[in-house]
Amino acid sequence: MNLWVKILILIVAILMLLGAIMVFTASGTFSYYKFQYDYYMFIQHSIKVVLAVFAMIFAARFPYERYRKYSKWALLAILFTLLITLFVAPKVKGAQRWFLFFQPSEVAKVILIIHLASMLEKFGDKIKDFKQGFIFPLIWISLAAGLVIAQPNVSTSIIIGLTSFMVLFVAGAQWKHIIGVFSSAGILVGSLALIFHHSRQRILSYINSILNGSDINIQVKQAKIALGSGGLLGVGPGHSRQSDLFLPESYADFIFSILGEELGFVGTVGVLVAYFVLFLVCLVIAKKAQDKFGQLMVVGLAFNIVISGFINAAVVTGLLPTTGITLPFISYGGTSIILFAFSIGVIINVGRQTAKTQELKIAQV
């Protein structure tokens, strides 16, 4: 195991530990109010963390080269699941996102990245030609993003688009193709977002806050109070006031604000720096990867994690409209933390395989 993989594991372990602590302090009041047990949410989160660790270990040990063979069928399966979700899933907060016990959109993000990496490795320089290469991955991206936005889940569909185009760029796609298609897709997604009542209200509230200088909604207002109350060093772990039912979703999508209240400006910046360093470490692992498939997977999976983290922070601070994007490894969650951990496992796998290949080359000299 090389140095970069060890650094990556250390960063993720710190973020998961911090997440467990923050969920413990942020969910106590809500847990008692809803379940009459202070530790209910924390125990549930701890179970998900254990599952996430197992997912990461599995992905770190399962040879990533085998994903080439199964990625297409896995993507077809999850696209079919997304389609079924539109008809059978119950509406939660205005959207149909859950199928049985998981969110298919979170799984789709990861599988799509893996399949794109496999496709683009085979295409090689053909990706520079729009008709011969670029258009084919667009079909998969459009299907995944389209089914997700139909839930409606605009924020996740945007992340799917951003991450996919990042993979296309690294694979060698031309800027004019990326900018042209992404701009057109942006207009389309923006138009669709205004059609759905759920997303339209969030966008209009955001625009109104910019024009009038008001807060986007009560959630963001309470989040800003939490961040402001934390000051430079915070009020200390367990001393948050906003988590006492003042701030909705304080243990989940808005846990970044509780982090700021309890650990202060230093704590919030520290987390964002951790995401940035995690991404840089992954770029090093990608650069050293023994094949293009591994390289593209690492970049895509790492970008998915870091962009989710920064979007979540931007939402909490009122810089972006409210979304349902979680803070990677820290927010209370099930599907998201397990899939983020699985992604890290795949990246570790690529790093380990690269190290083994280098050791074999040295031994043969």
- Tokens in use for 349? 């796998």
Which range (151-155, 203-207, 347-351) has the least confidence? 203-207
Question: What three-state secondary structure class fits 99?
Answer: strand
- DSSP code at position 322: -
- Tokens in use for 351? 């790093």
Domain ranges of the chain: 3-364
For residue range 162-181, list pLDDT tens digits in order: 999 999 999 988 889 999 98
For residue range 93-144, list pLDDT tens digits in order: 666 677 777 889 899 999 999 999 999 999 888 998 888 889 999 999 999 9
For residue range 222-272, list pLDDT tens digits in order: 888 999 998 899 999 988 888 887 888 888 889 999 999 999 999 999 999
Question: What three-state secondary structure class fits 38?
Answer: coil
- Tokens in use for 202? 């969030």
Single out the residue of 308, 301, 179, 304 nearest to residue 256, CA to CA.
308
Render 220-266 in DSSP notation, one character per residue: HHHHHHHHHHHTTT-S-TT--STTTTTSTTTTTTTHHHHHHHHHHHH
- Per the CB < 8 A criterion, the answer to whether 215 and 221 are in contact is yes
- Tokens in use for 230? 């934390």
- Alpha-carbon Rg for the chain, nearest whole angstrom, is 21
Which pLDDT value is given to residue 355?
73
Helices marked H in the chain: 3-35, 40-61, 67-88, 104-123, 135-149, 154-171, 175-195, 197-212, 218-230, 255-288, 292-316, 335-364
Distance in Å from the first CA to the final CA of the chain: 21
For residue range 282-328, list pLDDT tens digits in order: 999 999 998 999 999 999 999 999 999 999 999 998 888 878 789 99
